[in-house]
Amino acid sequence: QQPVQSPQAVILREGEDAVINCSSSKALYSVHWYRQKHGEAPVFLMILLKGGEQKGHDKISASFNEKKQQSSLYLTASQLSYSGTYFCGTEVSGTYKYIFGTGTRLKVLA
């Protein structure tokens, strides 16, 4: 079953913050986050492994709670370039299957 992302869509003003959640019904080994702009291929943002780690670069960070089978992506002081659809990609523990989340459309307005 596909991980569920929330919210489905969000509109921000430049400089505002956003949180995107990814929730799986299965135990996860890792979570990847991607951003896809309209008409383009997804671009890798970061990967988190089980162990509850948190990562970040620039003003984008993420956390992974393996017990809750959830990951969250944090966007701070959003920029226009952050607009796009964000996907979490998950690897279910014990498999090699990558299952992507339902996606979150993010639009940043000037």
Partner 1 sequence: EAGVTQSPTHLIKTRGQQATLRCSPISGHTSVYWYQQALGLGLQFLLWYDEGEERNRGNFPPRFSGRQFPNYSSELNVNALELEDSALYLCASSPVGDTTSTDTQYFGPGTRLTVL
Q: Cβ closer to partner 1: 8 or 14?
A: 8
Q: Cβ closer to partner 1: 58 or 110?
A: 58
Exactly one of 72, 101, 106, 108 binds partner 1 (CB under 8 A); that residue is 101
Assess 84 for contact with partner 1 (CB under 8 A). no
Query: Buried (b) or exposed (e) across 43-73, using 16+ Cβ within 10 A?
Result: eebeebebeeeeeeeeebbbbbbbeebbbbb
Backbone angles phi, psi at 27, to 5 degrees: -65, 135
* Site residues (vs partner 1, CB under 8 A): 2, 29-30, 32, 34, 40-44, 47, 49, 87, 89, 91, 95-103
